[in-house]
Structure formats: structure tokens, C-alpha cells
Amino acid sequence: MSQQDVYSQPEEKPADHVYFPQGGDWEDIVSEHAGSGDETIVINMGPSHPSTHGVLRLMLEMEGETVTSIRPGIGFLHTGIEKNIEFKTWTQAVTYVTRMDYVAPLFNEAVYCMAVEKLLGITDQIPERARIIRVLVMELNRIASHLVAMGTGALEIGSTTVMSIAFREREMILDFLEALTGLRMNHAFIRPGGVANDLPEGGLDHLRDVIKWLHKHLPEYAGFCNENPIFLARMKDIAVVDLSGAMMLGMTGPRLRGTGYDWDLRKTQPYCDYETYDFDVVSWEGDDAYAAFRIRQAECWESLKIVEQCLERLEKTQGQPVMVADKKIAWPAQLSLGPDGQGNSNEHIKHIMTGSMEALIHHFKLVTEGFDVPVGQAYMAIESPKGELGCHVVSDGGPKPYRVHVRDPGFHHIQSIPYMCEGGMMSDVVVALASIDPVLGGVDR
């Protein structure tokens, strides 16, 4: 609805009209513009537009095909994850955070658990094999996330083939993650203290098959896109953000590295032993959507290098623990994967049900009440496929978080849409949006 300009500063001339998303009637807006005599068109893109990477609303004002003003509207996918966590134990909260950026759920789990481990003071006690598995699943998830970004971004400019093959490779990765965690997405696999379970029988052979498949098929993306004249015309010099603009807007990840600045938290602020892995940080001089695409494409290869190193380390550490030794934190105690999916192992059930009354009591209290975390607060940041993913946790000394707040990179990147799009063409809005690869589950939380 139209109201007086409540946003104008005292020294500014108020705008003739200000439109708010709530209230009013679309017919009134249309008739008002029809009588104004100008050529401005007001368009809603979303909240259910197929190119919005989630439930995002973009309010566009246009002169012909040129975007003169664009305002993002978020909140349509708000699930109250951060608030709900306050009513769950520290371990149960993993099932909530994994549902934020649901395209890269394992990164949500990792950053939350590492923040909790900071508060517990057990960061250095996490078993080596658990750290290797965390790196493995994160890097496989990074490839899967980049494939979604490249595939959907290409589809939005008309390339259905790239979309098809991107999801083909992603399926191979999700099959492996399902075999490991019992679920294709929203795994709740990484837990405070380690991971829920070790690789299943035949897991290393399955991983070798995935690596072999990716080596065979990843080159196809360069062949389809890198020198394609239509692809270049739609991507180069579109959605331009230079280094100063990216820093000003809090942009991280591929869009920041697309300005030539090689900032990657795996190198600059290492965690999970990333400093011991051999890989390169990919940057690109371009400042545009094409630079972000090329970075994601190259990062798939770098992640694959890390996955291969994880395979070698997993071969050397077979049989080692995957959860911290402190049984007052290690929950669930023993998991295994059978034909019916994820659950407690038969050996563990036999132990707590028939072998030890003390073990049964401990298991019951750990599951129902959780463990206490010392009073304090901690912040942890990792390099997700989209950029810096941060988690701030606060404890009042009890078994449930007092506060958990997540810095999702997509939330910060959404604010760059006006910077990238105003003055450009309407057809370039979806290209700009794809270049930042937001997932609205993470944006809204």
C-alpha cells in the first residue's frame, strides 16, 4: 500500500510514493500508476517463482526491461529453528540446525557441533578418525552443493542438459551419504564429540566408486559451459560486484573469491585439520556471475582432491574410535546401519537391556536429560559452499542451549541483490540470484 515516505532523512526530499508489502489492494496500486502517466512497472517476482532458489520475494520497479529498484522480501520460510533449539538438548539441536541450508546440511551440523565442543573444552579430544570423516562428508557435500548451484543456474538461462547431469553426479554423492548416515539429507550425523557412526561395511569401496565416477564426469561441465557463447553472453559482466562492494556487503565464498581475493577459512582460519590437507584456494578475476561459476567448478576438483586424501587416511585409521571417550557426552552411544536404516547396534541394545543396569540408567539419562555445558559463549566459523557459515552458542550451564544464532552466508548475500541488479535487465535478475546461491531455509531459519 502507498503511504508517506517514512524512510526519508530530514535533509532528503520525500519520495512521492512508498509501497509496503502488507495491506492495500493490488488494484489500487495498478489504477494509481495508470493515472500517473509514467512508464514505471511494479512486478512481484515470487514468493513462488521457479527461479528464486526457495521462497523468496523480489519487488521490482522497472522502466521497460530495466530494473530501477529491487527490494528482497524474506521470511516466507521462517521455521523458528534458532528458537526451537532452546527447548532441546545440545545433541537434539543437531536435528534442527541440519535443516537450515538443506542443500549443505552437513556444514550446519559441523559448525554447530564445533561451537559446542569449544564450550565443553573438548576440541582437542575429538578422535582423529571422526575429524577425517567430518572433512570427508563436508567436502562431498560441497561438491553436491556446487552441482546444485551450477545446474540450477544453468537451467535458469535455458541449459537443461547441465541441470540433468549435475543432479546425476549429486545422486552418486547422496547415495554414499545415505549409506553412511541412513539419510540422503538432514542427516544429524555429526554430533558433539564426533560422528554418529563409522563407515559401514564396504564403505571405502563405495567411496572409491564415487571418486572414480566424479573423475570421469566432472570434465563435462567445462565442455558444456566454459566457452559456450550463449552461456558467456548471459554470465560475463552480469551481476558485477567488485572487491570493495563485496567487503562492504559482507559477501564471502565464491562471490568474494570471484573478485580475485583468495579468502577461504579452511586456509586462513583452519579447523578439522584442514591445514594438513593439500588443496588450493580458487580465485578468479571477473567480479561477475561467470567468475562465481568458474570458481564453483574448480572447487569441485579441489574438494575431490581432499576426498581422495580422506580415503587414504581412513584406510590407515580403520578400527579407531569416532566419538569422544567421555561417555557422559558421547550420545547416542553405539549406532549401526542395517537394512532398516539407522539405529542402535544390536550389541549396544543387548548390553544395556540384559548386561548392565548401570549402562541402561546412564543411557536413559543421557538421552532424556542430555549433558550440561559450562556457562559461557563461543563462536565458530567454517567455509561452507556459499561462504562463511558461523554459529554463536551461549550456555547458562544447563543441558539446553540458552541461545544459538547462526550467521548464514545467504542472509548477507541477499542484501547484495539491489547492488547487482539495479540498472540492469530483468532477465539478469535470476542470473544474479543464482550467482550468490542462497538457500532460503538458511536465510530465514
> Domains in the chain and their CATH numbers?
2-73 (no CATH), 81-331+370-444 (1.10.645.10)
Q: Measure the CA–CA gap between 139 and 145, rounded to whole angstroms.
A: 10
The DSSP element (H or E) to which 125 belongs, if any, is none
Q: Is the omega angle on the peptide bond into residue 47 within 30 degrees of 0, that is, cis?
A: yes
CA-based torsion, 83, 88, 90, 95: positive or negative: negative
Assign 98 to helix, strand or coil: coil
Q: Measure the CA–CA gap between 76 and 441, rounded to whole angstroms.
A: 9
Q: Which grid coordinates belong to 226?
A: 566454459
- Give the residue among 224, 105, 218, 225 at the shortest CA–CA distance from 168: 218
Q: Which grid coordinates belong to 119?
A: 564450550
Q: Measure the CA–CA gap between 74 and 95, rounded to whole angstroms.
A: 23
pLDDT at 36: 64
pLDDT at 1: 43
Q: Which grid coordinates belong to 47?
A: 514468493
Q: Measure the CA–CA gap between 100 and 84, rounded to whole angstroms.
A: 12
Q: Measure the CA–CA gap between 119 and 391, rounded to whole angstroms.
A: 12
Q: Which grid coordinates belong to 252?
A: 564471502
The per-residue pLDDT string of the chain (445 residues; one tens digit each, 9 = 90 and over) reads: 445 666 677 777 776 666 666 656 667 766 766 666 667 778 888 777 666 677 888 888 888 888 888 888 888 888 899 999 999 988 888 999 999 888 899 999 999 999 999 998 988 888 999 999 999 999 999 999 999 998 888 888 888 888 888 889 999 999 999 988 888 889 888 999 889 888 888 889 999 999 999 999 988 888 888 888 888 888 888 888 899 989 999 999 899 999 989 898 999 999 999 999 999 999 898 888 899 989 999 999 999 999 999 999 999 988 888 888 777 777 655 555 555 555 566 666 666 667 667 767 767 767 777 778 899 999 999 999 999 999 999 999 888 999 999 999 989 999 999 998 888 888 888 888 888 888 888 888 8
For 32, phi and psi rounded to 5 degrees?
-65, -40
| DSSP conformation letters of 273-321 | TGGGS-------B--SHHHHHHHHHHHHHHHHHHHHHHHHHHHHTTT--
- Give the residue among 148, 168, 169, 151 at the shortest CA–CA distance from 160: 151
In the sheet with 57-63, reading across from the earlier edge strand, the strands are 40-45, 57-63, 66-73
pLDDT at 35: 64
pLDDT at 343: 59
